[in-house]
A and B are shown apart, each in its own frame.
Chain A
Amino acid sequence: METITTVERLIKTYSGIYHQNKGVFSDALSNHRQEAVSVFESMGVPNKSDERYKYLDLTPWFDHTYGYTIQPEKLKLDSEQVFQCDVPRFDMHEIITINGFFHSHTKPHELPLGVWIGSLAKALQEIPEKVIPYLDVDVNLADSLVSLNKAVFRDGIFIYLPKNCNFHSSIQIINLQLAQDDMFVSPRNLIVLEGNSSVNLVICDHTLSQNKFLSNQLTEIVVKEGAQLDVTNMQNIHNNAGAINHTNIMQKANSRVNYTVLSLHGGMIRNNIAAKLDGVGADNSTNGLYMTDGSQIIDFNVLIDHAKPSCTSNQLIKGILDDTSVGSFNGKIMVARDAQKTAAFQKCNNLLLKDTAKVNTRPQLEIYADDVKCSHGATVGQIDPDALFYLRARGISKDEARMLLMFAFAHEIVQNIKFENLRFRIDEIVNKRLRKELTRCHNCQAL
């Protein structure tokens, strides 16, 4: 009898999605898909021997039988499920995806000339010349799961803003996962901001059914000269759901990206964020906040590549970990030889609420230029007993004092969000999460 290793079995299972659906995948990207599947087949699912996945064992997440849908679901959505994401007094253009497929715009709308907000699959058919040149953002990372996504994705979101377009409202992307049986999803998104355009994106990830999910999502972002992008991503999935989010960002001269990820809840969340600052004067802020409890796993992997001179970057990642949850931060700043006058900063602070919670931090600098300002640092600590006593000595209960201090710790991330009403809403959500009230939401009952 022939024996097959887990590694081989996983390769066969996931590349099988591609091989079994070849007909469906013969689109404008057929060749790309074929190349990508070969890369995945040669590398397999990352394991702990891979430096970047040292602290995260993905095998149990992949070694499970999931369904994979190659057609969008024809579902009518309960409006309540959608509008729980509504931010008061905030002008939003809302779109919904289900299991990685574009589903709908929630309101009638008219888009300005040249703007595209909708399905990537549809855009590939209708305006391939606006899509294909921007795909495959190269951030100098070899990740087999990115290749897997490129091989088997069917749809996702495509946003295109032409030159000088300051989009009049924020765009909210509500990603829903909803299925009868355990499901693997693989959305691919592309966001293109042409020169001097700007937009604010709010992305909400939710699981609406209690079955197991594994998501392997790729989001590529191209921000051209002078363009400005704000992103706030709220990740709120149940404990039986895992999400691997690859976000690859290409920034040209004088562009600005402010990217905030709030990992509020989830069985396993891996955020790979890589930005290449590929033009003089580009500025990147990457902010992450995670709050974990139970046996949740959260893993942040950030790479900021300073390829050109006079760029600035700031990474601020903060975590509050309870119970036996595990967090990891692996952050790297690379400064190319010619990237003089770089200013790059990185900070990761963690609060452990119990001795059983754990965090791994690995800040790294790789600098080839000599005229740079760089710093990095990581801390792991407990709630400051002196601050706690000070608050209690003023009549504030121990629990409430702990809340105030945790909230203050988290607020350093939230305050980076530019838009006031959105910031208030997120403060509210963070506050609820710290009080463990979020788990009472109807979409998080699978606990």
Chain B
Amino acid sequence: MLHIKDLRAKIGEKEILKGINLEVKAGEVHAIMGPNGSGKSTLAAVLTGRENVEVTHGEVWFKGKNLLELSPEDRAREGLFLSFQYPVEIPGVSMVNFLRASVNEVRKYNNLPALSSADFLKFMREKQQLVEMDGKLTGRSVNEGFSGGEKKKNEIFQMAMLNPALSILDETDSGLDIDALRIVSNGVNKLKTADNATIVITHYQRLLDYIVPDIIHVLYDGRIVKTAGKELALELEEKGYDWIKKTV
């Protein structure tokens, strides 16, 4: 589903990604771990098409398409989803209008008719229950005044609405208490199928107790320096990232 080949990227003059290779297949859950500043969020930014990151080398193929040539909106329409580390508050744009625009633009791109208002609201309520999202929140502006936990829940709610092929969860556990963490993880696990894939970006092992990965990669100084099964998370938790730093 996703092939990353020798990807290098810089922000300003600083090279952050120094040759990433990664392959993600349908049905898999990958975790990317690593210390602060290793390039985890930059990788998410490159994949979703943020303009402040400049790709200097390499290729990214997503479902057979050259991802780097697509606009951010077309990447989303192709089925790439980013759960933001810091979801943006957008006062004045109502959740309902935002979600309707989002769902219908994605449907249009995939040659599906727009949902009628009634169908849309029904669909929205279903997905809301899936992530245990308070109905009151959908009556508000996008993320405005949401708590940290509500914002992250809202990300997973949007993921449920868009049903993406590949989801990238960028530090979804940051700022979550244990109950919110459980609800958010449950949501992600319920959305899991044999046809989609997930990349979990996280600093801590904690989230991986709930969303169990098939493969764990350790990112350090812009490169993937170690790839192993889920047991790697426990080893990292025990020995810390210094252990990795010493071995490379």
Contact = CB atoms under 8 A, between A and B. Distances in A.
Interface of A: 384-387, 389-398, 400-401, 404-405, 407-409, 411-412
B48 interface: yes
B70 to A, nearest CB: 11
B90 A405 contact: yes
Contact of B105 (A386, A395, A408): A395
A338 B93 CA distance: 42
B76 A394 contact: yes
B141 A387 contact: no
Contacts of A412: 91-92
A390 B162 contact: no
B88 A400 contact: no
The residue among B51, B73, B77, B88 with the most chain A CB atoms within 10 A of its own CB is B73
Contacts of B101: 391, 396, 400, 404
Contact of B90 (A387, A393, A395): A387
B108 to A, nearest CB: 9
B76 A395 contact: yes
Nearest to A415: B92
B134 to A, nearest CB: 20
Interface in B69-110: 71-73, 75-77, 82, 84, 87-88, 90-93, 97-98, 101-102, 105-106, 109
B82 A393 contact: yes
A209 B77 CA distance: 46
Contacts of B226: none
B105 A389 contact: no
Nearest to A404: B93
A397 B105 contact: yes
Given A390-B87, A404-B97, A404-B98, A396 B105 contact: yes
B158 interface: yes
A408 B93 CA distance: 5
A412 B141 CA distance: 12
B50 interface: yes
Contacts of A409: 92
Contacts of A396: 73, 98, 101-102, 105
B105 A398 contact: no
Contact of A394 (B51, B71, B109, B162): B162
B92 A407 contact: yes
Contacts of A394: 76, 98, 102, 158, 162
Contacts of B92: 407-409, 411-412
Contacts of B109: 395
